[in-house]
Amino acid sequence: MSREKFERIKEFAKDKETPCLIIDLDVIRKNYENLQTYLPWATIYYAVKANPDDAVVSLLRDLGSNFDVASRYELDQLLRLGVSPDRMSFGNTIKKEKDIAYFYEKGVRLFVTDSIADIDKLSRAAPGSKVFFRLLTEGLGADWPLSKKFGSHPDLARQLMKTAMRFGLEPYGISFHPGSQQRDVGQWSSALAIVAQLFNWARHDLKVDLKMINMGGGFPANYLEPTDSLEQYAQDIKRFLDNSFGLVWPEKIVIEPGRSMAGDAGVIVSEIINIAKKSVHERYPWVFLDIGKFGGLIETLDESIKYPIYFEGQGSVEEVILAGPTCDSMDILYERTPYFMPSSAKIGDRVYILTTGAYTQSYSSVYFNGFPPLKSYILPPA
């Protein structure tokens, strides 16, 4: 973020009650354009859960994005905002039959699956629809892995494809998610090799030409730990696709960016509530902010996501422990990861938590300890 932009955000937030999230739509637009530039062969389905703000969704709608939808509530929101159902996929493997029926009734015809029971539901509630099969990945190398819970082993995926066909659904493609904030691009390589095997198997044994690879999200936002550039990811993934598919790539390559689209677009403005030591000789002071795990920073769980944090003030810095305001002892942000605060910082000062545009507001709790859900504002144009 440029100095000038940061000053604008600070100025805009000046009279706002904290904590609050300031969203910069210019960054979302830029991220969308960068994805198009570096991955021109990919079709973008924005993962709505990352930041479902109406303004964010409307901007992406206008830019031509498609949407990865996880619940009937997200579907209702998208319909309200005028997104047509042929720009959506129901990308959650865990769905009630009546919700599948609701999506189908509204016109959605593209569904993910990873189990026999789910295919059973799809065959009844969304007859004839296109289905894609999610593979299990381990999420190794990811800061927020998403492993284990979703997808099936390739052996089971073969069975699922057969079953789907028998049930009159259209086997359409294979999906995986390499793990969110995936810092090891090699994870795409191993997944794509398995995807290619499944494409071959479907062609020869099932006599079906699968059309789509859905590579999920995983592209990075800019937190404390450095990552390769998006351009580098794109180059590497293109090479992996060449390795696995040669000259003839599948018809449709989908990406579902969430974090990489919205993460860098947000700044949380917070305030220091208290600075305190627990004992006379304690080394590091505790700094309590007015936002914590329950106010929207749940991804600090296990200190997985390390947000860049900016304190006002000058002078020498000292290492601190950062914690949130609620009466739950797990509401600690960072105890092991070193964070530093200028010695001049004091109670009442503002603190800026950067790269908080994704997975913050949508995760904030509803009135735990009476604290309202995280409020957000769109930064007005300059």
CB of 68 to ligand PLP, least distance (A): 5
216 belongs to the binding site for ligand PLP (CB under 6 A): yes
Which regions of 13-80 does DSSP assign to beta strands (E)?
Answer: 20-23, 42-47, 66-69
Binding flag, residue 173, ligand PLP (CB under 6 A): no
Provide the minimum distance between the beta carbon of 322 and ligand PLP in the complex, in angstroms, as a whole number: 23
Q: Select the span of 3-11, 47-55, 241-249, 266-274 touching ligand PLP (CB under 6 A).
A: 47-55
- From 186-194, 250-258, 283-291, 301-309, span contacting ligand PLP (CB under 6 A): 250-258
Distance in angstroms (rounded) separating the CA atoms of residues 105 and 356: 35
Name which of 91 and 325 has its Cβ closer to ligand PLP: 91
252 strand-pairing partners: 212
Contact call for residues 52 and 74 (beta carbons, < 8 A): yes
| 328: helix, strand or coil | coil
CB 164 within 8 A of CB 142: no
Q: Does 118 bind ligand PLP (CB under 6 A)?
A: no
Among 72, 87, 109, 177, contact with ligand PLP (rule: CB under 6 A): 177
Rounded to a whole number, what is the distance in angstroms from the first to the last CA of the chain? 15
Q: Under the criterion CB under 6 A, does residue 61 sit at the interface with ligand PLP?
A: no
One DSSP character per residue, 80-104 reads HTT--GGGEEE--S---HHHHHHHH
Residues 22-41 that bind ligand PLP (CB under 6 A): none
Sequence-distant (≥ 6) Cβ neighbours of residue 81 within 8 angstroms: 54, 57, 58, 61
| Position among 72, 259, 293, 306 found at the interface with ligand PLP (CB under 6 A) | 259
Q: Interface with ligand PLP includes 47 (CB under 6 A)?
A: yes
> Which of 9, 17, 12, 21 minimizes the C-alpha distance to 374?
21
Closest CB to ligand PLP among residues 177, 306: 177
For residue 61, the minimal CB distance to ligand PLP (Å) is 18
SS3 label, residue 159: helix
The Cα 345–Cα 337 span in angstroms is 19
**Is 217 among the residues that bind ligand PLP (CB under 6 A)?**
yes
Nearer to ligand PLP, 29 or 162 (CB): 29
> Would you count residue 49 as binding ligand PLP (CB under 6 A)?
yes
Instruction: Kindly tell me the number of DSSP H helices and DSSP E strands found in the chain.
Output: 10, 18
Interface with ligand PLP, residue 264, by CB under 6 A: no
Contact flag: residue 50 with ligand PLP (CB under 6 A): yes
Among 143, 256, 290, 299, binds ligand PLP (CB under 6 A): 256
**Residues at the site binding ligand PLP, with contacts judged by CB under 6 A:** 47, 49-50, 68, 91, 177, 180, 216-219, 256-260
